Structure 1
């Protein structure tokens, strides 16, 4: 363990209130959770997949700073960029196995903030921000969604430009691509029901989280 990781071990477990938003979403797509700080990052990955409706069909990673922001040299040298990935995907010197690190550790290293990127093609970037913490008790569930807005984008929709194009076409029956996009969305979601991008079923998410944990 290098000095950037020293002193970040989880001692007494805490319940962390964490707000997660999809960067660049407009209107904003966000979630607010109560999460145990002792959750391994591999478990946090599963929480975010369930809460945003992802299907775990693509690569992902955790980082402590915006991965798309320009790097700034420190004392004339660029610092090592750490990222947390599934153990089998760790190949570079800065890679860390997500199974061996905890949410509290990641947020401590990021001074209360971290990022989770899912699907390196569409680049769905989630920003995690620590809101508050309290001691955990035996009744505290590992993960609970307490608030949020809007459903997550559809898998493989092409990032926000592609997703917004699909949503616009679905909302306008006279749009030349309406029928094509409606058929694609029905196939991807497995439902012929009217697609509502503003809908978020919090109880359903919490049932899914209860099944995971």
Structure 2
């Protein structure tokens, strides 16, 4: 499918309700958004970074299917699996620029689903699922977090096995690594306050999103 076939319907922008789940999280870590379908994937990347508390310190990519599912050969050959990356990182034949693809286009290519992987070492895999769509109006913000559960894992915590080990140590003062992990978490968060993995401040996320898009619009005006 060409990008033009998967874009906003009839030239009109849409508001997409999208549920994003951190794959393999137990208890489940998830977010539910209202996002403009015209958002480019690099903009969606920034939204997800903000909503999950990431720091944009690692590589990322978007794909239309689970990148870790076994591939099935077609006519004896394995099909090329496209992935969307920042334009300057596109090097392989299947690499496509995330700046040139909208969220609406990506979800159409994936039949309403897509995946976003952040940090290829810890491999935080997010599943995006289209819940509903409606026409956008002048009052529709580019991105709004509606609901969610639990904060995102800490950067560089070693994937879910490492993050769970850290959380176990924090919760048990008698754990041999309690002091070490407590100091590490305080350094990562910049706070000595108790770390609550269940905490999620939806209004704070939305305030940050508003400010991010305001700055982006201001930068675009300056360039004109």
Q: Which residue of 2 aligns with 1:23?
A: 23
Report the count of equivalent residues: 211
- Structure 1 unpaired stretches of 5+: none
**Shift of the alpha carbon at 1:75?**
2.0
Measured against aligned partners, the alpha-carbon deviations of 1:98-125 in whole angstroms (never above 9, x if no partner) come to 0111000000000000000000000000
**Alpha carbon RMSD of aligned pairs, Å?**
0.9
Spell out, residue by residue over 1:49-77, the C-alpha distance to the aligned partner (whole angstroms, 9 max, x if none): 00000000000000000000011111222
Shift in Å, 1:9: 2.8
TM superposition score normalised by structure 1: 0.97
1:139-195, Cα deviation, whole Å (9 max, x unpaired): 000000000000000000000000000001000111000000000000000011000
Residues 59-138 of structure 1 mapped to structure 2, 5 A cutoff: 59-138=59-138
Indicate the residue corresponding to 1:12 in structure 2: 12
SS of the residue aligned with 2:5? coil
Give the structure with the larger helix fraction: 2
**Which runs of 4 or more aligned residues in structure 1 lie more than 6 Å from their structure 2 counterparts after TM superposition?**
none
Query: Aligned equivalents of 1:9 and 1:199: distance in 2?
Result: 35
Deviation at 1:211, TM superposition (A): 1.0
Structure 1 residue aligned with 2:181: 181
Q: Secondary structure at the match of 1:80?
A: coil
Partner secondary structure for residue 19 of structure 2: strand
Kept in 1: contact 2:3–2:101 (CA 8 A): no
The residue that corresponds to 2:143 in the other structure is 143
SS in structure 1 of the partner of residue 144 of structure 2: strand
Give the Cα–Cα distance (whole angstroms) in 2 for the partners of residues 34 and 81 of structure 1: 28
TM-score scaled to structure 2, two decimals? 0.93
Measured in 1, the distance between the counterparts of 2:71 and 2:3 equals 20
